Amino acid sequence: MRDGLISRRGVVGLVAGAALFGVSPSGRAVSRSGGRPHLVTIPVGRGPGGVAVHSGTGVVFVANAGEQTVSVVGGGTTLATVSVGGVPSDVAIDEASGRLYVSSSASGTTSVLDGGRVTNVIASGVGSAALALDSDTYRMYVASGTAGSVGVLDLFGGSLKASLPAPGRGFSAAAIHGRTGYFASLHTASVEVLDLDGGTFTTGIPVGDGPSGLAVHHGTHTIYVANSGIHHLSVIDGRTRQQTRTILLRSEASSVAVHEPTNTVYTNGGPDGIVRIDGARGEITGELSLGINPGQVAVDQRTGAVFVTDPLHDRLHVITGF
């Protein structure tokens, strides 16, 4: 098969990545019964930024913004460092195929990693930054961080299908629920809503200053927005497209992740660590100090393990039992 051409049969099944690197998923689920959290710290590449985890295998991918690489982490250690040919801006994992997608704002490209190697580099538009996968149509939406545009990648063909005009001057984060896309607009303090079928932006939802992170709890269609310019997390009802509440934090937040089965929200809005929030009640239920200014946050949907990058010390923090 030629690199970059993905057959429908190739999408079926779990990643070969875990087998390739000798990592087997753990069957243990994380307990939230009040036990002491367990922390493991793993060295990765320079300036770790974006982080994504494959919940089927537990393999974690860390985009190293200080160099043109992605660290592949599993079993408590860095298994490989893969050059991606551009400074990474964001990462997104396709749970079905195990392929990793890595955007690069500087080069305007999105790289495809399959089985621990780059198999395609797709021109995805100026300032390619925030990634969101539409698993229904197998398209990747690549939001520009510097311009009002969103690239639409055809992942079967491995090419740019369209470039959609968008409001604002660039986006910092993106997520998809059903046939709707949500894009955090850093400069306009809003979340812009995209009709995926129509290919047009329909409305903007005002949030806090400097929205930098965005995540969706799909069971309730609730959108959480980490605002980097103010000490609160915005909560949006996706059905009414209104901000329904704000959750006061002790520090500005730039990243947020949701554990779908328990409706637990994690954000880096602690003064030197992360915050845990009960999504159903909209209340903070715990804080965990890491002794650092934490970077991006991700959560394993199967085990509940939380992953936090440390850009200052070039490390990944793995937290269980929190």
Q: What are the CB-based long-range contacts (under 8 Å, 24+) for 217-221?
A: 217/258, 217/260, 217/263, 217/265, 217/279, 218/177, 218/260, 219/260, 219/263, 220/263, 220/279, 220/280, 221/177
| Residue 1 falls inside a structural domain | no
| Residue 91 falls inside a structural domain | yes
| Residue 33 falls inside a structural domain | no
Over 60: is that where the pLDDT of 32 sits?
A: no
Please tell me the predicted confidence (pLDDT) of residue 15. Answer: 43
Q: Which domain holds residue 106?
A: 8-20+38-320
CB 55 within 8 A of CB 300: yes
| Residue 60 falls inside a structural domain | yes
Give the DSSP letter of residue 256: E
| Residue 25 falls inside a structural domain | no
Based on its alpha-carbon atoms, the radius of gyration of the chain, rounded to whole angstroms, reads 18
pLDDT in tens, 150-193: 999 999 999 999 999 999 999 999 999 999 999 999 999 999 99
Give the SS3 label for residue 177: strand
| Residue 28 falls inside a structural domain | no
Give me the phi and psi of 110, to 5 degrees please: -130, 120
| Residue 280 falls inside a structural domain | yes
| Residue 29 falls inside a structural domain | no
CATH number reported for the structural domain that contains residue 160 in this entry: 2.130.10.10
Over 50: is that where the pLDDT of 72 sits?
A: yes
Q: How many domains does the chain fold into?
A: 1
Mean pLDDT on 267-274: 94
